[in-house]
Amino acid sequence: MTTLSLKRFAVLALPMAALAMTTSAHADEWTPSRSVEFVAPANPGGGWDTLVRTVSRVLQEEQLAERNFAAINVPGGGGAVAWAQIARDSGNPHKLFATSPPIILVPLAGASRHDHTDFTPIARLITDYSIILVEADSEYQTINDLFDALKENNSLSIGGGSAPGSMDHISVAGLASAAGLDASSVNYIPFSGGGDAMTNLMGGHVEAVITGAGEAVGQLGEGSQLRALGVSSPERLGGGLADVATYQEQGVDYTFDIWRGVMGAPDMPEEAVAYYETLFTEMLETDGWQQARDQLGWLDAYQDSETFGAFLDEQKEQFSSVLSDLGLLRQ
């Protein structure tokens, strides 16, 4: 059912987008008539919350938006509670939320009735990448060393910061399968966060850890107890991670994005989508954004509504296949 509607969506997407462009050119430009509710589907402090608060702050400081962006936390169910609320608000042009791979993974795991096709994609903003870490004095020098060892002994434990079937696990399982191993053979140990996983690596309780590059950057460099084996980006990253080779450089053809973006209530009017697209493009250009982005270790990865929508569909296919290899597909 879903794949069918997806295909139909793809067939319709192009002409509809063309139509949207012509109509929006004629229609009066839409601007928000009240403050925009910008929902972080989680508690304060996490990735979504940081994105929501940073975007709201930059928009306000740079005086880009006509109306205030109000950050709202709706925690619960790894996002499912907020999604259920927003899905009921069809057509509301004043309701946005921060999004990232869980919008695809949580429904695939059977834990949410709503998935990305229920909402209006607005824009992808930034991305982070996965990084594989080992102890500084570990015998492994490349990801191939690690995977060779895994082939010999698949009980070697790889820690990550999230539950099985969520980002870190998908990322390392996909990598293993690209390196010629069975995705389900990775002994993935879930910890309650990237920090928790890295602490356990420092204590030698696990063999390696997969986590977000942004989260790991503070742990690398001179005098540190950890060392990076590889990063999931298509090209080398800058700053403190310039020395870390990509998987592709090491002969494993695999990349993984931990993207973050903005979606809106279902069936948001085209004019409103166009307004937000322009707003976020302008925001990405400001000094305030670039400063915050660099400090948080984010990389710009802008996609407009249409490209973002197509990207989400692609991601869903990719994730479904890894999850089904892992036996975790429950949809």
Partner 1 sequence: MDAFNNLMYGFGIALEPMNIAYVFAGVFAGTIIGMLPGLGPISALALMIPITFAMEPSSGLILMAGVYYGAIFGGSTSSILLNAPGVAGTVATSFDGYPLAKQGLAGKALAIAAYSSFVGGTISIVFLMLVAPLLSKVAVSFGPAEYFALMVLGLTAVVSLSDKSLVKGLIAAVIGVMISIIGIDLQTGTERFTFGSAHLLDGIDFLVVALGIFALAEVFYMLLRGGGGKEAPRNAIGSLKLSRSEVKQIAGPVSRSSVLGFFTGVLPGAGATIGSFLGYSMEKRIAKDGDTFGKGNIKGVAAPEAANNAACTGSFVPLLTLGVPGSGTTAVLLGALLVMGVTPGPMMLEQRPDVFWGVIASMYIGNIFLLVLNLPLIPLIAKILDLPRPLLLSLILIFCMVGVYGMSFSIFDLLLLLGFGLLGLGMRLFGFPAAPLILALILGNIMEESMRRALQISGGDWMTFIDKPISLSLLLIALLSLALPLLKKRRKKVM
Summarize as ranges the residues that interact with partner 1 (CB under 8 A): 43-45, 49-50, 53, 57, 73-78, 80-81, 84, 109, 111-112, 155, 157, 163-166, 187, 189-193, 195-196, 198-200, 202-206, 217-219, 221-225, 292, 295-297, 328
Q: Which of 20, 19, 33 is nearest to 270 (CA)?
A: 20
Q: Which of 53, 122, 71 is nearest to 267 (CA)?
A: 122
Q: What torsion, rounded to 10 degrees, do the Cα atoms 294, 296, 297, 299 define? A: -70
Considering the complex, what minimum distance in angstroms separates the CB of residue 11 from partner 1? 33
In one letter, which amino acid is 320? S
- CB nearer to partner 1: give 23 or 192: 192
Considering the complex, what minimum distance in angstroms separates the CB of residue 205 from partner 1? 3
Considering the complex, what minimum distance in angstroms separates the CB of residue 30 from partner 1? 28
Helix, strand and coil content of the chain, in percent to the nearest 5, comes to 45, 20, 35
Tokens coding 252? 């494993």
Residue 267 gets the label, from left (phi > 0), alpha (psi -120 to 50) or beta, of left
Q: What torsion, rounded to 10 degrees, do the Cα atoms 209, 321, 100, 158 define? A: -10
- CB nearer to partner 1: give 174 or 269: 174
Considering the complex, what minimum distance in angstroms separates the CB of residue 62 from partner 1? 14
- CB nearer to partner 1: give 274 or 328: 328
DSSP sequence for 114-148: --GGGSEEEEEEEEEEEEEEEETT-S--SHHHHHH
Residues with Cβ < 8 Å from 286, sequence gap 6 or more?
A: 58, 62, 64
- CB nearer to partner 1: give 44 or 234: 44
8, with CB counted inside 10 A (0-12, 13-18, 19+), is exposed
Considering the complex, what minimum distance in angstroms separates the CB of residue 157 from partner 1? 5
Instruction: Kindly provide the b/e burial profile for residues 298-323, where b requires at least 16 CB atoms within 10 angstroms of the residue's own CB.
Output: bbebbbbbbebbbbbbebbeebbebb
Q: Where are the alpha helices (DSSP H) in 27-162?
A: 47-61, 80-87, 102-108, 143-152
- CB nearer to partner 1: give 272 or 322: 322
Considering the complex, what minimum distance in angstroms separates the CB of residue 215 from partner 1? 9
Considering the complex, what minimum distance in angstroms separates the CB of residue 200 from partner 1? 6
- CB nearer to partner 1: give 53 or 124: 53
- CB nearer to partner 1: give 36 or 268: 36
Considering the complex, what minimum distance in angstroms separates the CB of residue 214 from partner 1? 9
- CB nearer to partner 1: give 7 or 330: 330
